[in-house]
Amino acid sequence: MLFCQLRCISVVSVSDVVLVLGTLSVEAIYQDRDQFAQLVREVAAPDVGRMGIEILSFTIKDVYDSVEYLESLGRAQTANVKRDADIGVAEANRDAGIRVCEICIALHHSTLTVTMFVW
Between CA 61 and CA 60, with CA 18 as vertex, the angle to 5 degrees is 10
pLDDT tens profile 37-90: 888 888 888 887 888 878 777 777 777 778 888 778 778 788 899 999 999 999
Model pLDDT, residue 8:
47
Instruction: Indicate the number of domains in the chain.
Output: 1
Asked if residue 27 belongs to a domain, the reply is yes
Residue with the bigger pLDDT between 105 and 89: it is 89
Asked if residue 98 belongs to a domain, the reply is no
Instruction: Kindly report the CATH number assigned to the domain that includes residue 59.
Output: 3.30.479.30
Asked if residue 82 belongs to a domain, the reply is no
Instruction: Name the residue range of residue 19's domain.
Output: 2-67
Asked if residue 118 belongs to a domain, the reply is no
pLDDT interval class at 114 (50, 70, 90) = very low
The answer for residues whose C-beta is within 8 angstroms of residue 73's C-beta and 6 or more apart is: 27, 30
In whole angstroms, give the CA distance from residue 105 to residue 37. Answer: 62
Model pLDDT, residue 32:
83
Q: Average per-residue pLDDT in the chain?
A: 77
Asked if residue 7 belongs to a domain, the reply is yes
Residue 47 CB neighbours (<10 A): 15
